[in-house]
Amino acid sequence: MAGKLGIFVTTDKHWNHLLNIAKAAVAKGKELIIFFTHRGTYLCKRDDFSELAKVVEGHGKMSLCLVSLKAHKLGDENTPIPGIDKKDFGTQARHAEMLEELKFEEGDRYLVL
């Protein structure tokens, strides 16, 4: 089994790394679990964010911290973001739920950007 790769995105400084890591993980058969928080929510407003959404589609899921999105005045739960449905807007509790899905003894990995 290829396992899962969890990515906790807290900054808006590593877009190219995030996109390339996601592409490489999918190429290796990894399931992606990506959570955006704090300044990482700025990435969701990029014109090319849909490129990441296409990479993740069918290979995992993305979620974001609604509190951070609102705090940075980037939108609310009704703001359309490619690859993130209304149910994917959450809090740090959602991040904890996503972490529970990782089974590190089975080859899963967790990355913080």
The pLDDT tens digits for 92-108 are 888 888 888 888 777 89
Q: Across residues 20-30, what is the average pLDDT? A: 96
CATH for the stretch 4-112: 3.40.1260.10
**In the chain, what percentage of residues exceed pLDDT 90?**
81
Can you say how many angstroms the Cα of residue 106 is from the centroid of all Cα atoms in its chain? 21
Model confidence band, residue 88 (pLDDT cutoffs 50, 70, 90): very high
Q: How far apart are CA 87 and CA 95, in angstroms?
A: 13
Position 52 pLDDT exceeds 70:
yes
What is this structure's pTM?
0.93
pLDDT one-digit tens code per residue, 68-80: 999 999 999 999 9
Read out DSSP for 8-36? EE--SS-HHHHHHHHHHHHHTTPEEEEEE
Could you give the count of Cα atoms lying within 13 Å of 62 in the half-sphere of its Cβ? Answer: 26
Domain regions of the chain by residue span: 4-112
